Amino acid sequence: MTRFRGLNYRRPAYLLMLMNLLGFGLLFVKNGYNLNMLYVGAGLLGLFIFIYSIIVLCNMGDKFIVLMACMLITIGVLLLCRLNLEFGIKQIIWVAVGGVVFFASYLIYYHIRFWHKLWMFYGILGTGLFLATLILGTTVNGSRNWITFGGFSFQPSEITKILFIMLLACYYSGAWEKPLGRITPKWMTLLITYLFIGFLVLQRDWGTILVLFAIYLFMIYVYEKTYGFLLMNLGAASLVAVLGYRFLYHIQVRVSTWMDPWADISNKGYQITQSLFAIASGNYFGRGLGNGSPGYIPEVHSDFIFAAVCEEMGVFGGAAIIILFFLIAYRCFKIAITATEPYDKAVCLGLTLMFAIQTFIIVGGVIKMIPLTGITLPFVSYGGTSIVVNFISLGIIQAISAKEERRGGGKGGK
């Protein structure tokens, strides 16, 4: 490809490395020349180099998505290390696990070719996870969405998101057309969607409800050629929303704190106002890593990490995160559009929407553009389940893009 001079995949990778070096070097100084910081940084950098080289060397399809995800992880880990070194180290371990899971899901998805036949499996597994959460779950911050066993806890709703997408893809790729009893697959998907949402209402996990429902609506828009079904669902959603607002105290509180968080700063509006204080004190370039006080924000390591980014790396840093997510979404959309197998197309679309919507909901919530619903910011927030599930999604998208490139006779390669 000599015709494309300067098509150098290494330059952004070098910048990523530089970011890591400077970032961890700075934290090294901050923590009183604590060598652990350098080990942590070196570990993360090694991990990135390892993952990225395998992708490039084995020609595993798209080379940008993982690179951008690495940048997001870098920003996230830098802040986590700065907030609490322990969180940072745990996060890096999760990233390492995520890397393994990434390649595993890549290989599994690439080689198994009957995903589109497994709709019943997805539905039953999803329902099972929900039931398990309801029975075994523990309540954290008012949402009953954690399962703990043996000192190890995870959020099943993160996994059900992927199952849900794969289930939708079964129908919308046209692979699932046999009715179950007298219910056609279209109504079956509708039923399962509302069943899942019902479970999530019981768990009070409003963020995930929004994500699942938005994915469902967008899928309907893309695949149903008439608008009737979409409008019907929208109607149902608004009805439920209005009823929820009338009768559920939780939702009323969320809306009222969104409209005027200043009315009750020390109580209901505490989280969001602390987040706004952080963003407001960051200005354009931020106060500098370690100079701010993101510690005042509750849940700063998970849901509110975006506010911490804005405080310490500035509004420009925050905007950069949004841009990175947009670029990831753009690449994934491109893969979805060029994918030839309908099932791959639908899965890729669903996963892309998952990233995009999740980012929009939490970032919009943290900056008070929309009512706040707790949900993690993919790749940046602290959280094992979130990191692993996001890596699984990336692995699947990577596999789809690799299939597509190889089908093209190696033409799309390097």
Interface with another protein in residues 351-410 (CB under 8 A): 353, 356, 359-360, 363-364, 367-369, 403, 406-410
Instruction: Give the separation between CA 254 and CA 270, rounded to whole angstroms.
Output: 12
Give yes or no for residue 43 binding another protein (CB under 8 A).
no
The phi, psi pair for 288, rounded to 5°, reads 100, 140
Query: Is residue 259 part of the contact set for another protein (CB under 8 A)?
Result: no
Residue 117 interacts with another protein (CB under 8 A): yes or no: no
Per CB under 8 A, 150 contacts another protein: no
- Note the helical H segments in 84-155: 85-111, 119-136
Give the residue with the Cβ less far from another protein, 147 or 336: 336
In the block, which residue shows the tokens 């929820």?
A: 244
Give the integer Cα–Cα distance in Å for 140 and 192.
26
Nearest-5° Cα angle at 345, 51 to 70: 20
Token couple for 324: 């990175």
Our finding on whether 116 is near another protein (CB under 8 A) is yes
Give me the least distance between CB of 50 and another protein, in Å please. 19
* Binding of residue 213 to another protein (CB under 8 A): no
Rule CB under 8 A: which of 167-186 touch another protein?
173-175, 177
Write the Ramachandran bin of 370: left for phi over 0, alpha for psi from -120 to 50, otherwise beta. beta
Query: What is the DSSP secondary structure assignment for residue 383, as one 8-state letter?
Result: -
With respect to another protein, which residue has the nearer C-beta, 194 or 277?
A: 277
In whole angstroms, how close is the CB of 210 to another protein at the nearest point? 13
Give the one residue of 73, 80, 272, 329 binding another protein; rule: CB under 8 A: 329
Give the DSSP per-residue string, 295-313.
Answer: GGSTTTTTTTHHHHHHHHH
Residue 238 CB, nearest approach to another protein (Å): 18
* Number of chain residues interacting with another protein (CB under 8 A): 100
Q: Give strand pairing partners of 147.
A: 154
Read off the tokens for 207: 């963020």
Residue number with CB closer to another protein (29 or 259): 29
316 contributes a contact to another protein by CB under 8 A:
yes
* Interaction residues for another protein, span 3-42 (CB under 8 A): 4, 6-7, 9, 11-12, 15-16, 18-19, 22-23, 26, 29-30
**312: contact with another protein by CB under 8 A:** yes
Q: Compare residues 117 and 250 and give the one whose CB is closer to another protein.
A: 117
Please tell me the distance from the alpha carbon of residue 55 to that of residue 400, in angstroms, as a whole number.
14
